[in-house]
Structure 1
Amino acid sequence: MTKSLKIGQILYTNVLPVYFYFEQERFEDRIEFIRQVPAQLNAAMAQGEIDLGPISSFSYAEHASEYVALADLSVSAKGRVGSLFLFSKKPIEQLNGSRIALTNTSATTVNLLKIVLHKFYEYEISYVTQEPVLEEMLQEADAALLIGDDAIDAKRRGGDLHVYDLGELWHQFTGYSMTFAIWAVRKAVLAEHGSLLADVHASFLASKEKTRQHTGPLIDYVLAHFGGDREEWTRYFQGLQHDFGDEQRIGLEYYYRCAAELGLLPVPATVDIWQAGGRQTNTTLTR
């Protein structure tokens, strides 16, 4: 009997539009959802414990020879994201030489922060990685990076810290969109699950489009489970992009090039796209 397709799901609200109307009952025991934070999903995909799902864009680059990306699915933003924040005791202009605590749940945003501070601000920074608890992170650090719902909760609590949106900083310096996660599939499972994968991909795309057309039920769900207010969540989801077209690709490839320039990646990655009926290989950037 063919094993089920193991599908990852990030434990953050930013991926909900792709899953909210997903018709899981259609697939009975043919699929299994595994819900984890990004860093855990990255490791599970790399170890072959998950067949497909949203992983950090940086992790995709690290394993580009083993993965392909599902067409037209991502977590991206052009400017403000609303869930990727640097919380700082002092203005960012005064952070040179500082110590910054990084969440242990991220890969893409951690390296995005390093690109912003080292390439664009030309700062020297020391880093420590910790559990995503803001108060503990700031005990011995000048600033702390949080992502996802941890960041949203910390921002909601307020305080007198300086707060910087990483998507906004990236767009300020580059003018580009930034893609934080892409739906990847391990090449090793394509032959076995090609037909099922096409159906799953179509269901993801349908959920994304239905959520775009009917946001009310999604907002109601998030309010009931995560608190906040309707205007806050409506603005948040309106600021996110779940497509992956040329605009998102260009921004992500520039991010990969910046990462390679800083030695965070050995070379810029090629994003290889899978879609039902065939694969499309994209042009490799060179340094």
Structure 2
Amino acid sequence: MACHPGRSHGYRVRYCGRLPRSFGMADLEVTERIRVGKVSFINTLPIFHPLESGAVQHDFDIIDGTPAVLNALLASDQLDLGVVSSIEYARHFDKYLLLPDLSISCKNEVCSVLLLSRVPLQKLEAQEILLTPKSHTSIALLKLLFARRFTVTPRYRVTDYHACGSRWPAGAQEDLAIGDDALQLRQNPEVAMALELGAAWHEWTGHPFVFAVWALRRETLAQRDGLVHQAHATLLAAKEYGLGHLEEIAAAVDQCSWFSRQECVQYLQTIEYDLDADKQKGLRLFFDMLYEMGELSQRVPLNFLETGGQK
């Protein structure tokens, strides 16, 4: 794991692999700065690019990782707040608060949470689907869709493969891919069926789907109330700037030779970054369905950081 000084607006730590068994508090130094978790996918750039480019000033330690890694870091008090899988909040809602007006959500096709298959959906009965370990919410949504919406019962296996460009994972017939992996794999000519999970949810329920939320440790609020509210205001300012400068952000995505600037803008425009009343209804419905399936041990309330404004 590399930790190096950033610009005057804070420090940044990058950790994109699996957490080693010995990973503990000593690995990430606790500082007075708020430690903010950033999912290392293109879809978080409308908030993080303004922060990391200096367009919006901040005093955070920004820590990169996959959704699953950030889930673990927040749970183990190695982050103060950050982007985490929505189901991670559901599993630990007694420890977390939601940051108002922030999420990663969609109403229709978002192209980066996909079930990709070499065969049509109707032929997936008893077939093995490879599940990415990078996201917990996407796995829960996929299982929910097959259990409650589709009359198909596949088998599942979580596997720590890493997509390489648009090449199909070795030995896979069906594959759940998220984030940048999905954006590349969808171009594979072997794909016979691409099920966009967010669109499938919206078509089924009429509500947007909230893939990720911004969660805050309650302990952090108790210890650093002022810094927390300042951090929330900074994130909202970054979101406002980022959504108004998508062309600038797309131009900065220079590592993606497989993704043109225009495609990047169009992709980011399919994502919604607020957490309005309709998204909250969709999130509650998702949690309720998981509870009814036995995937959650109790019903989950949506508890927000109190800001004095509309939640």
Alignment TM-score > 0.5, same fold: yes
Q: Please say if 1:91 is aligned against 2:157.
A: no
Larger relative helix fraction: 1
| 2:255 counterpart residue number | 225
How far has the Cα of 1:128 moved from its partner? 0.6
After superposition, the C-alpha distances for 1:192-219 in whole angstroms (9 at most, x for unaligned) are 2211111211111111111222221111
The question of whether the paired residues in 2 share the 8 Å contact of 1:54 and 1:181 is answered with yes
Structure 1 segments (4+ residues) deviating >2 Å: 1-4, 22-28, 122-125, 132-138, 156-161, 275-280
Correspondent of 2:109 among 80, 83, 87: 80
The question of whether the paired residues in 2 share the 8 Å contact of 1:198 and 1:275 is answered with no
Once residues 162 and 31 of structure 2 are traced to their aligned partners in structure 1, the CA distance between those partners, rounded to angstroms, is: 42
TM-score by length of 2: 0.83
The DSSP-based 3-state class of the residue aligned with 2:64 is: strand
Correspondent of 1:255 among 283, 286, 293: 286
Correspondent of 2:241 among 177, 201, 210: 210
TM-score by length of 1: 0.90
Task: Trace 1:11-90 onto structure 2 (pairs within 5 A).
Answer: 11-22=40-51, 23=54, 26-28=57-59, 31-90=60-119
Once residues 24 and 191 of structure 1 are traced to their aligned partners in structure 2, the CA distance between those partners, rounded to angstroms, is: 30
Once residues 50 and 158 of structure 1 are traced to their aligned partners in structure 2, the CA distance between those partners, rounded to angstroms, is: 40
Q: Which moved more, 1:229-238 or 1:59-68?
A: 229-238
Q: Please say if 1:3 is aligned against 2:32.
A: yes
Q: Please say if 1:121 is aligned against 2:145.
A: no
Task: Trace 1:65-214 onto structure 2 (pairs within 5 A).
Answer: 65-133=94-162, 137=169, 139=171, 141-214=172-245
Higher relative contact order (CA closer than 8 Å, sequence separation 6+): 1
The question of whether the paired residues in 1 share the 8 Å contact of 2:168 and 2:188 is answered with no
Once residues 271 and 154 of structure 1 are traced to their aligned partners in structure 2, the CA distance between those partners, rounded to angstroms, is: 34
The question of whether the paired residues in 2 share the 8 Å contact of 1:132 and 1:146 is answered with no
Q: Which moved more, 1:210-219 or 1:125-134?
A: 125-134
Once residues 262 and 107 of structure 1 are traced to their aligned partners in structure 2, the CA distance between those partners, rounded to angstroms, is: 16
Which consecutive residues of structure 1, in runs of 5 or more, have no partner in the other structure?
A: 281-287
The DSSP-based 3-state class of the residue aligned with 2:50 is: coil
After superposition, the C-alpha distances for 1:210-257 in whole angstroms (9 at most, x for unaligned) are 1222221111112x1223113321221111000001011011111111
| 2:3 counterpart residue number | none
Amino acid at match of 1:225: Q
How many residues are aligned here?
A: 276
How far has the Cα of 1:2 moved from its partner? 6.4
